[in-house]
Structure formats: structure tokens, C-alpha cells
């Protein structure tokens, strides 16, 4: 069960109440650096394994490690996602957790946290306008447990 409930999030006031502009530039800033968890659901595993031409179990053995009720994508020793090589090699089918970046609870929990991400991500402030309600839905979707 997710610890953060959409209703609780929707009732509070946030610095992003007027919305945020964002467009992924595929720069990889969120794919490299500080190690993290890249949660993949069972259905995402099947799609990505098929895309890279591997059987699901072989894909799991090579690219994933157990996390919660599913898996997380491995990173190299420098914290780089194994699917980032001059860009995301699985971008059209990247996991939901990747698709919802930068709209993660850890980034939006305070304006201070958000400003740190703004300095790292060149897509923030450009492109499509995301409403407060869309952002809250993505926060909820990005929490894998």
C-alpha cells in the first residue's frame, strides 16, 4: 500500500500550484550520477526484454536486481543506468518511474528540493505546461510501493 494518498496530496497547497513547464531533452542528467532506484513493473520488464531481444529471465539476470514487489534497473559503478548510452536506449518504452521524472515526491516535497533539480535538469521551465493536478497524479504514479 502506498504511504502517500492522492487525496492527502490534493488537499495541500504547494509551490507548484500554478503548474510547471517541462520537456525532456534526453540529456541524461537523471540517468547518471547519484545511484538510485529505477523501479520496473512486471509488465514493463516484459516489454523491455522483448525490445532488447532477450527472454525475460535472461533480461532480469543481466539488467535487474530485486526491489520491493518487482525489480530495479542496475546501474554501473558510476551510477549510470545500464540503458543510458549517448541517450536512453529504451526511451520510447522507458519505465513509468523514468517517464514521471522530474515529478517525483522527493523532488517536489519542498521548493528547496525542486530548485536543486532545476539546476540539474535543462528541460524544467521549457515545453509543455503541467497542471497541479497532473503533477499530483505523476507524484502518486512515481512511487513504486
108 belongs to a structural domain: yes
Q: Is residue 95 part of a domain?
A: no
Note whether residue 96 is domain-resident.
Answer: no
Report in angstroms the alpha-carbon separations of 51 from 28, 86, 102. Answer: 20, 18, 25
In the structure grid, which three cell numbers stand for residue 69, read together?
Answer: 514487489
Residue 44 lies in a domain: yes
Report whether pLDDT(1) > 50. no
How far is the first Cα of the chain from the last one, in angstroms, to the nearest whole number? 6
Paired residues of 51 in beta bridges: none
Total domains in the chain come to 2
Query: DSSP per residue over 55-118, as a string?
Result: -HHHHHHHHEEEETTEEEE-B-TTS-BTTBSSSBTTGGG--HHHHTTT--HHHHSSHHHHHHHH
Per-residue pLDDT reduced to its tens digit, 82-134: 999 999 999 999 999 999 999 999 999 899 999 999 999 999 999 999 999 99
Tell me: pLDDT of 5 over 80. no
Q: Determine the Cα–Cα distance for residues 30 and 98; give it in Å rounded to an integer.
A: 8
The answer to whether residue 93 is domain-embedded is no
Residue 24 sits in the same domain as residue 44: no
Prediction pTM value: 0.86
Range of the domain at 74: 35-86
Same domain, 105 and 76: no
What tens digit of pLDDT does each residue of 16-56 get?
999 999 999 999 999 998 778 899 999 999 999 999 999 99
Q: Is residue 21 part of a domain?
A: yes
Best-predicted range by mean pLDDT (4-13, 44-53, 136-145): 44-53
Pairing of strands 20-22, 128-130: antiparallel
Amino acid at each position: 500500500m502506498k504511504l502517500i494518498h492522492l487525496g492527502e496530496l490534493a488537499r495541500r497547497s504547494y509551490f507548484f500550484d500554478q503548474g510547471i513547464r517541462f520537456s525532456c531533452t534526453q540529456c541524461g542528467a537523471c540517468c547518471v550520477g547519484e545511484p538510485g532506484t529505477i523501479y520496473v513493473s512486471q509488465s514493463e520488464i516484459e516489454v523491455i526484454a522483448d525490445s532488447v531481444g532477450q527472454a525475460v529471465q535472461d533480461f532480469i539476470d543481466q539488467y535487474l536486481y530485486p526491489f520491493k514487489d518487482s525489480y530495479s534497473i542496475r546501474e554501473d559503478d558510476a551510477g549510470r543506468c545500464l540503458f543510458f548510452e549517448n541517450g536512453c536506449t529504451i526511451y520510447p518504452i522507458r519505465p513509468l518511474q523514468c517517464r514521471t521524472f522530474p515529478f517525483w515526491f522527493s523532488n517536489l516535497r519542498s521548493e528547496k528540493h525542486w530548485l536543486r533539480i532545476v539546476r540539474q535538469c535543462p528541460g524544467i521551465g521549457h515545453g509543455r505546461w503541467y497542471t497541479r493536478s497532473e503533477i499530483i497524479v505523476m507524484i502518486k504514479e512515481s512511487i513504486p510501493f
